[in-house]
Copies of this chain bind each other. A is one copy, B any other.
């Protein structure tokens, strides 16, 4: 079932009306589409038509953004992705859920329930949620510091994985005639006693068609990289230059190896923002049309916000104020990955602030060009060892997803870099990940294997 090495994985990141923050202004979808399951179901069906690996939903438990001027708010991802799973048959569904503002039992259960309902297509993107707005919805004055969030996240993921394993595969006997439902010896309490959590278990949901949900992680700080390389099956990351992409890829594979893992079982998927036209000129015109709604001030403000320096203090025609950056970035408030990716791009390519603002939109690497150009750069990164796949952020939905599926996917197929159709039914199979071992079954299985070896 495992996929040949030379196949790219692709997740479709449904970021509101599109990866470009002015997408909603063009009116391709109604302003309230973000609260309508049918909107997401439609994009998921388009993505499934292209045999993409998964739908990805970012999330945070607070009303972020500027609700006056921009669609803000979103439906809860485990619930919304259940609706998406019901409208599709193969594509995976990746829910972003907080390890800081959930309890391991409830979250493990919801995700495992989604994994059952979707037939083994669920994944959890673990986030710790920087920023105070979320914290203040959960009884805290502000977010816990970075180190504490990641210490909690590490234990949280560990507890969730234990709960997902608490029913062994085959624990259910299901003998109605004899009145035997399950083998109680194969349904395990986990009796977890840790610094952050005490959880008895077992979970009240058995293993799923793919064993347990896939784990995704997206933080690029030291804490994020440690967590992801230990626990995750896939890493979403912000990388804006090929050299940085290769360095990150190499580092994460080495970290996985250091945890005793097969590095092939940790998929590295940088974000890629796309504005695609029939020609490069058409793509540029499409991007200009979107930019026009934002204005140069809006573009510069995005840069300013990510580096933590007021836009009024930036010279649009000068370089980033590199000497001030080291002292300004606040790891407690913002995303380390976005900060680093933006600063690296400006430095490596010697860009002015204005040039940088046109090279980046959502914070991820931006490609404005023809389908051929998008396929080229995806192939380049993949073959250079910077990516096992990509988390795709089309500029605008649904057209940006349709163009990608109809024009880029066939080019990748022609080069042998993308599957012709689904070869499996679970997300784990799409990603080329092995069936997950069950920690509670392992000793017994080892004993059996050992007894066979000596027989």
Contact = CB atoms under 8 A, between A and B. Distances in A.
Contacts of A101: 103, 105-106
Contacts of A201: 63, 137
Task: Classify chain A: how many residues form its interface, as a range.
Answer: 35 or more
A300 interface: no
Contacts of A103: 101, 138
Q: Of A27, A75, A79, A117, which is in contact with the most chain B CB atoms at under 10 Å from its CB?
A: A79
A105 B205 contact: no
A203 B176 CA distance: 46
A438 B75 CA distance: 20
A363 interface: no
Interface stretch (A31-39, A227-235, A250-258, A278-286): A31-39
Nearest to A41: B86
Interface stretch (A182-190, A374-382, A396-404): A182-190
A27 B176 contact: yes
A68 interface: yes
A61 B25 CA distance: 43
A340 interface: no
Interface in A183-230: 183-184, 187, 197-206
A200 B136 contact: yes
A431 B86 CA distance: 28
B30 A139 contact: no
Contacts of A449: none
A203 B63 contact: yes
Interface string A21-61: 00011110011100111000000000000000000000011
Contact of A116 (B35, B63, B204): B35
A357 interface: no
Contacts of A259: none
A35 B174 contact: no
Interface stretch (A107-115, A313-321, A342-350): A107-115
Interface of A: 24-27, 30-32, 35-37, 60-64, 67-76, 78-80, 82-83, 86-87, 101-103, 105-106, 109-110, 113-114, 116-117, 133, 136-140, 167, 172, 174-177, 179-184, 187, 197-206, 293
A24 B137 contact: no
A181 B69 contact: yes
A114 B37 CA distance: 10
Given A103-B138, A183-B68, A25 B176 contact: yes
B73 A205 contact: yes
A93 to B, nearest CB: 11
Given A61-B106, A67-B187, A198-B139, A31 B172 contact: yes
